[in-house]
Structure 1
């Protein structure tokens, strides 16, 4: 068994976190990951109202007695969701772990910490991770350029970002972006991380609530089949390469602005992709790591085999293979 600062701090068996993905992070998936010894995450804003989130948390609690968390992604918007109400539901529901992402989480972190809730903040750079550490988060999830969704604007891949974070941070952190199996977990631990966060890999599991066509699309895709959109707007997003993402890039390359593509990138279209299974209908996020995904197992199998393979690879190195302290113990 792999024991790290993350497993000790968050009370999980394996240093594996399921990403808090929009339209994907529902009770069945989160519970399956947690039951296998990882940390499952419900996505708060997938639920249309705070009351719906309360019901989803209760559903997850009925499916697992293991630790699970809730993701609260903070966006800058002229019509933002009622974040304070979602946060209050999380507190009143007795959730003990929250993953924040997006814009400055200070107010949320302070309130959550007052109620004894552990906070993981997702970042795309070391400087943002250091700020998160200063405001008191318990851990950081740091996203390399390979990740699905928003990788930031620095374009630093995990092979550099992970050890850079390890050198700078004193709190535990998990590496995110580009992880699908035990080889990646072993590599992340060797680079100084305390665990990994997997999103795309858990999208492609039996408990994932997305349409089977989309899971098969991921299995059949390569590492070349993603598209970076919004680069011109300094709000880069990695999505599946399809006719819609190509059109968005073309419009922006010709000088278009967000108003010219807003209907193409509407979240309602992305949600419909997941619900109805047409991968060409809208923008949907997926990571470069889809090139390593070749099956649709249960989420529990993903957790168990990822941990087992990482242990085997780390043991294979042997203490004589390296002359640096081990980032994790194998017990």
Structure 2
């Protein structure tokens, strides 16, 4: 299956593994790439640019296929050396960077000089058009169904994708709520040229998270996510557990939400250590998209991608037959 995305990225299938904090490590990224998609290492999962460079080398030992690096650029209390992380990716020979968060314009010249393709993840058409204007090679358009930060517009992919496709000239990747080949086919019909998956890849054999987390996704349905930080205009979709429910309750109190009341509950280190590593699915906040309603097993990445491509091809052929 060839699209502008497969040609641009040098991959067999138009399937990209999104950058995920604590999860986007060499084990998962290499498995996705070996299966025919594009694996992504998450830069800020690594404690320093030097550690990112070493993780790139570790990933390269596991695959001879292309893989990328995610660089999420956000305002932080403690300054993050984003430029150094970007340079570490370049020094490691990475040719695809997925940016997210702030406008990546300041990094475009550096990436251009080093032959790096830039995919910017965004949650609205206006931000996708801005990414195109500043020189990004492609955009990953994230619908309201997604895990993590879906923006504040609350537009699902059934509307967001065709609107974006009608206005963009660069290739578009559909992101958010996608977990099978039927949805891949649907995304292609809506104007995308590939899909980006995060949550679905967490529930694979190679994902470096505790088995309890993967099984919780299998056991869950599409209603078991919730939105936090709505009162702070920094909405995030997470798995619906007791901690997430407590956060929602605090935000529902009259008056302005004080982040200090939320911070002990939502601390990233708590989610990483207690949930992703120790396997206590009630131990902290962890991101998950509505696609958990479609997750019924824990396959290898190779099994997942092969199945998705078979599903996509079969449904495209079947629908084409309707034309006679």
TM score, norm. by length of structure 1: 0.95
- The corresponding residue for 1:129 is 128
Tell me the number of residue pairs that the alignment of Structure 1 and Structure 2 aligns: 321
Distance 1:296 1:220 in 2: 11
Does the alignment pair 1:274 with 2:273? no
Distance 2:210 2:311 in 1: 29
The residue matched to 1:262 in structure 2 has which SS? helix
Shift of 1:291: 0.5
- The corresponding residue for 1:236 is 235
The residue matched to 1:66 in structure 2 has which SS? coil
Structure 1 alignment gaps of length 5 or more? 323-331
Distance 1:321 1:226 in 2: 39
Moved more, 284-293 or 263-272: 263-272
Q: 1:300 is matched with which residue: 296, 299, 302?
A: 302
Shift of 1:113: 1.6
Structure 2 alignment gaps of length 5 or more? none
The residue matched to 1:311 in structure 2 has which SS? helix
Query: Aligned pair in 2 of structure 1 residues 82, 160: CA closer, same or farther (>3 Å)?
Result: same
- The corresponding residue for 1:257 is 258
Q: Aligned-pair RMSD on alpha carbons?
A: 1.1
Alignment of 1:36-185 (within 5 A): 36-185=35-184
The residue matched to 2:130 in structure 1 has which SS? helix
Distance 1:288 1:139 in 2: 25
- The corresponding residue for 1:314 is 316
Shift of 1:110: 2.5
- The corresponding residue for 1:247 is 246
Shift of 1:243: 1.1
Distance 1:10 1:216 in 2: 32
Distance 2:322 2:212 in 1: 47
Spell out, residue by residue over 1:118-158, the C-alpha distance to the aligned partner (whole angstroms, 9 max, x if none): 00000000000000000101110000000000000000000
- The corresponding residue for 1:283 is 285
Spell out, residue by residue over 1:154-204, the C-alpha distance to the aligned partner (whole angstroms, 9 max, x if none): 000000001011101000011001111001000000111001001111000
Distance 1:301 1:210 in 2: 18
Distance 1:249 1:113 in 2: 43
Moved more, 185-194 or 79-88: 79-88
Distance 1:242 1:206 in 2: 23
Moved more, 258-267 or 175-184: 258-267
Spell out, residue by residue over 1:229-255, the C-alpha distance to the aligned partner (whole angstroms, 9 max, x if none): 011111100001111111111111113
Spell out, residue by residue over 1:78-109, the C-alpha distance to the aligned partner (whole angstroms, 9 max, x if none): 21321111111111111000000011211122
The residue matched to 1:249 in structure 2 has which SS? helix
Distance 1:66 1:151 in 2: 30
Shift of 1:321: 2.8
The residue matched to 2:75 in structure 1 has which SS? coil
The residue matched to 1:23 in structure 2 has which SS? coil
- The corresponding residue for 1:218 is 217
The residue matched to 1:309 in structure 2 has which SS? helix
The residue matched to 2:237 in structure 1 has which SS? strand
Shift of 1:73: 0.6
Distance 1:286 1:171 in 2: 28
